[in-house]
Amino acid sequence: MRVALIEMGSTSFRLTIETERETHHRIHHLNLGSSVSTNGSFTESDITNATGVLAEFMTAARVHNCQRIVAVATESFRLAANGDAVATHLGREAGCEVKVLSPDEENNLVWQAMVNQFHGVDFLVAVAITGGSVGITVGPTSSGIPLHNFSYPLGTSVLAPRASDSGFVDTSTRVRLEQHIAESLKPVGVVLRDIKGCEFVVSGGMPLALAKLIHTVRRSEVPETLDGLAIDCSDLGHLIKTFDELSLPARLALPGISSKRAPNMALGATILRQVLRSLDVHAVEVSNVGLREGLLGRIYADAKAA
């Protein structure tokens, strides 16, 4: 079966096409989360850009003769006052339904992808940090769904307009942001307090980009794979200090840095470090599986069941 998956995220729109022989990827960074955070709704420009990208993705899916096309939207569509209306409009223009995932649906899909990767672990805490949200799921890997499911609008794209100025996060803003994250995540801390022997794993484009940068700077070589790299609060603290001292052009000269994510990496490092602190975790492993793998797994499972 040939499948096309369209993810309409808060930072980027991504297309994944899987055929019997190969996989194709396309990505466009639209930063809708920042626009919604600033304006409260999608602007006409946002809608025009999203419509154009979705049309391009649909054309590619048809060229590859995909029998199944699935399009989903996440946090920016949940936050925007006109999110549901825009999703309906985009679906009508593209000829494909756009489903706005609920926080629980999104987290459950990430959880299933993580469980499939870490099936040898008894108890898992999966942390997904995206452009729109921080999602945290907790439970035994033997469970079909997590026992605990949390989601907070604390993603880098959503917070950037209020917390970052031209790529910099000043000290007073950082302190307020850390306090806000700590207060938001208190319910998670209460749950984890009574659970021992958890495996903590974090996924998302920003954590992977941060892990790549830290590893490359430390070892003077780009890692062959990002999956399984370790990242800790000390690494993140050093990186935050480095970003404070470098202009944006100077940051772009760092080996292993992501040029697309560079403007928000100081903010991303601050968010990730405080999330780990709030969970009382010093170090965590990064994973390259997430919503995409969860959705693809669901699509193939449904096809097999049919």
Structure tokens given for 49 = 């850009």
Q: Hey, which residues does 134 pair with through a beta bridge?
A: 129, 152
- Co-location of 25 and 155 in the same domain: no
Backbone angles phi, psi at 27, to 5 degrees: -145, 140
- Co-location of 278 and 133 in the same domain: yes
Q: How many domains does the chain have?
A: 2
Alpha helices in 42-200 (DSSP H): 44-63, 75-79, 83-94, 103-117, 156-163, 171-184, 186-192
- Co-location of 222 and 129 in the same domain: yes
Tell me the residue range of the domain where 213 lies: 104-290
- Co-location of 67 and 193 in the same domain: no
CA gap 101, 9 in Å, rounded: 11
- Co-location of 69 and 111 in the same domain: no
CATH, residue 11: 3.30.420.40
Instruction: Say if 243 falls within a structural domain.
Output: yes
- Co-location of 281 and 138 in the same domain: yes
Distance of CA 240 to the CA centre of its chain: 20
- At position 22, the amino acid (one-letter code) is E
- Co-location of 144 and 215 in the same domain: yes
Alpha helices in the chain (DSSP H): 32-39, 44-63, 75-79, 83-94, 103-117, 156-163, 171-184, 186-192, 205-219, 233-245, 248-251, 265-278, 291-305
pTM > 0.85: yes or no: yes
- Co-location of 128 and 80 in the same domain: no
Of 205, 227, 296, 225, residue with least CA distance to 18:
296
- Co-location of 66 and 19 in the same domain: yes
Instruction: Say if 303 falls within a structural domain.
Output: no
What is the pLDDT tens value at each position of the chain, 306 positions in all?
899 999 999 999 999 999 888 899 999 999 999 999 999 999 999 999 999 999 999 999 999 999 999 999 999 999 999 999 999 999 999 999 999 999 999 999 999 999 988 878 889 999 999 999 999 999 999 887 899 999 999 999 999 999 988 889 999 999 999 999 999 999 999 999 888 888 999 999 999 999 999 999 887 788 889 999 999 999 999 999 999 998 888 988 888 888 888 889 999 999 999 999 999 999 999 999 999 999 999 998 887 776
